[in-house]
Amino acid sequence: MKISVSGMLFLILPLCLIGQIEHSLFINKIGSYGGQTILETPNGNLIIGALGDHPENEGDYAIWVFQIDSSTAEIINEFYFGEIGIYEELGSIQHTNDGGFVVSGRQGVYYPFLIKLNSMLEFQWEFTVPDLNEPPTSDGFSSIQLSNGNFLFLGNGQNDPVTRVYIVSNEGDLVVQDSINFHVNQAISDTDSSIVFVGQEALTFYDNQVLAVKTTNNLDVIWEFTYGDGIGADEGRSIIGTDDNGYLIAIAEDKQLPDHGIISKFVKIDSNRIVQNEVELFLGSPSYFHKGINNKYSVSASFEYWDYYSDPYYTSVIYLLNQEGEVECTTSHGFGLSPYNSTIVSSSTDILIPGSNGVNGIPIYRYDEECDLIVSSRNPPQRPNYSLFPNPVQEYLIIESDEPILKIVLFSSSGHKIIEQMVLGRNAEQLNMSNQESGLYFGLIHHQESVSTFKVLKL
């Protein structure tokens, strides 16, 4: 349902339970893995990037790349990278002109890298940032292949407004080293062989404005576009060209609220950089756009919830947008141990996103054009069953589960924690919602080894 308020478009998520999330495919791999990025190959296979157990040392992690059959999830080829005792983090995986792949990320805290693989996921070369005496270049999360075959590779300091730009040859040699005076989150190669960067420009220590810049392959500026009121830590997360020579920009907008004040926002601009449409959505930080189903654009946004006594939990919200930047459908991907920056891929008929279930293997979720999950019969053990009633609720919400409940946490639609109620092993509990305002609320049900989620409408 869409509601227009003061010229802005707000999306209300459909009211449905989002508890146990079944999956569409499952990569049967022993060990703990978190799927983070996904690509579709020309022959229909899938490339999955993940952070997982290091095969040579228990307790360490490595970056993994899997090529799998898109129907059976059978592993065709695999590659891992990681030094023992050093933390690795995956940035992105991109197709290359020769049918291979380029993997970007960081090693440790300060060392971005670029790795070239062939079509069989065999190692070809590695490029690491040479200027280690500069301030820390921590991200290394965006790379593209330019029209001349070279690779553009980005590195940012965590609190550094300057983005370092490295152009690397298709043999892995440094060609150009430069910088851009704002924090870039993504670069894309445009249809006219130019480059479009999107990110944020620091105005004060706490405040940003979203900035998109188009340049030549030599980094000469063609145009700039700014967006936002300059209040709060707004970020331009990703950008994609539309068929009318305009662009869609995904923004993480800071609403200046205590605790989890970041929401997803999509802005459509035309070829003259004039804003055509603005859509404010659910809380969370959006990832990269992907064009697929009927020339529509899919994107996921992740919201991070930190429990003081445990690891963080995440939910991913998936959106499908048309060429005008209007949201046609959306679905919640559910809470779990999913990676914060999950990316998605759209085929001509489906939307796919990798995830993690906190145990062996990697689940992959496939959604259709209506954002409905396409379920496979090949499912691992599911999370506990639960029920809640009445929903909608006026006073007391009753929650029952077939496994003992440790605690229940309730959030407002803006992400604020409203109730945290210890249950300590009972299979049923009631929440007093009589004093809460009318609206949509999100909840977590903590069990011994899992977390289930729910939505409830307060009348």
Residue 425 sits in a domain whose CATH number is 2.60.40.3080
Residue 414: the pLDDT is 58
pTM comes to: 0.74
pLDDT band, very low/low/confident/very high, at 358 (cuts 50, 70, 90): low
Same domain for 363 and 419, yes or no, is no
Please check whether residue 11 lies inside any domain of the structure.
no
Residue 126: the pLDDT is 93
Please check whether residue 9 lies inside any domain of the structure.
no
**Is the confidence at residue 294, as pLDDT, over 90?**
no
pLDDT band, very low/low/confident/very high, at 310 (cuts 50, 70, 90): very low
Please check whether residue 183 lies inside any domain of the structure.
yes
**Is the confidence at residue 228, as pLDDT, over 70?**
yes
Residue 76: the pLDDT is 94
**Is the confidence at residue 5, as pLDDT, over 50?**
no
* Domain stops at, among 341, 374, 407: 374
Provide the total of helices (H) and of strands (E) in the chain, helices listed first.
Answer: 0, 36
Residue 195: the pLDDT is 92
Same domain for 307 and 425, yes or no, is no
Same domain for 345 and 392, yes or no, is no
Selection from 250, 258, 247, 187 nearest residue 219 by Cα: 187
pLDDT band, very low/low/confident/very high, at 268 (cuts 50, 70, 90): very high
331 or 231: which carries more pLDDT confidence? 231
Residue 212: the pLDDT is 96
Residue 91: the pLDDT is 81
Location of structure tokens 């995904």: 250
Residue 446: the pLDDT is 77
Residue 361: the pLDDT is 79
**Alpha carbon distance 318, 370 (integer Å):** 11
Q: What is the mean pLDDT of residues 154-164?
A: 69
83 or 257: which carries more pLDDT confidence? 83
Same domain for 292 and 338, yes or no, is yes
**Is the confidence at residue 31, as pLDDT, over 60?**
yes
Cβ–Cβ under 8 Å, residues 410 and 441: yes
Same domain for 153 and 176, yes or no, is yes
Domain of 93: which CATH number? 2.120.10.30
Same domain for 73 and 131, yes or no, is yes
Q: What string of DSSP letters covers 123-179?
A: EEEEEE-S-TTSSP------EEE-TTS-EEEEEE-TT-SPEEEEEE-TTS-EEEEEE
Same domain for 56 and 88, yes or no, is yes
34 or 127: which carries more pLDDT confidence? 127
**Is the confidence at residue 20, as pLDDT, over 80?**
no
Distances (CA, A) of 177 to 105, 142, 154, 167, 289: 18, 15, 10, 6, 27
Please check whether residue 1 lies inside any domain of the structure.
no
Same domain for 154 and 189, yes or no, is yes
Residue 383: the pLDDT is 59
Please check whether residue 4 lies inside any domain of the structure.
no
Same domain for 255 and 360, yes or no, is yes
- Residues pairing with 77 in the sheet: 67
Residue ranges making up the domain that contains 273: 20-374
Location of structure tokens 């305009």: 246
Highest mean pLDDT among 24-28, 282-286, 323-327, 450-454: 323-327
Residue 68: the pLDDT is 94
Please check whether residue 12 lies inside any domain of the structure.
no
**Is the confidence at residue 298, as pLDDT, over 90?**
no
Same domain for 283 and 411, yes or no, is no
- For the chain, the domain total comes to 2
Residue 328: the pLDDT is 86
**Is the confidence at residue 312, as pLDDT, over 70?**
no
**Is the confidence at residue 290, as pLDDT, over 60?**
yes
Same domain for 439 and 339, yes or no, is no
Residue 326: the pLDDT is 87
Please check whether residue 379 lies inside any domain of the structure.
no
Residue 151: the pLDDT is 92
pLDDT band, very low/low/confident/very high, at 444 (cuts 50, 70, 90): confident
150 or 356: which carries more pLDDT confidence? 150
- Residues pairing with 363 in the sheet: 26
Q: What is the mean pLDDT of residues 260-279?
A: 88
Residue 131: the pLDDT is 57
Selection from 385, 390, 386, 402 nearest residue 431 by Cα: 390
Cβ–Cβ under 8 Å, residues 402 and 384: yes
**Is the confidence at residue 150, as pLDDT, over 50?**
yes
Q: Report which secondary-structure segment, H or E, holds 363.
A: strand 360-367
Q: Which residues of 334-353 are buried (b: 16+ CB within 10 A; e: fewer)?
A: bbbbbbebbbbbbeeebbbb
181 or 274: which carries more pLDDT confidence? 274
**Is the confidence at residue 95, as pLDDT, over 80?**
yes
Q: What is the dihedral of CA 315, 321, 325, 326, to 10 degrees?
A: -90
* Domain stops at, among 374, 405, 427: 374
**Is the confidence at residue 260, as pLDDT, over 70?**
no
Q: What is the mean pLDDT of residues 131-150?
A: 66
* Domain stops at, among 346, 374, 402: 374
Residue 309: the pLDDT is 41
429, two tokens: 């509990």
Same domain for 393 and 284, yes or no, is no
Q: What is the mean pLDDT of residues 334-350?
A: 57
What is the per-residue pLDDT across 365-397, written as a single tens digit (0 to 9) for each?
888 888 887 765 444 445 578 888 899 999 999
Residue 54: the pLDDT is 85
Please check whether residue 154 lies inside any domain of the structure.
yes
What is the per-residue pLDDT across 320-339, written as a single tens digit (0 to 9) for each?
889 888 888 887 655 443 44
pLDDT band, very low/low/confident/very high, at 261 (cuts 50, 70, 90): low
Location of structure tokens 């000469």: 220
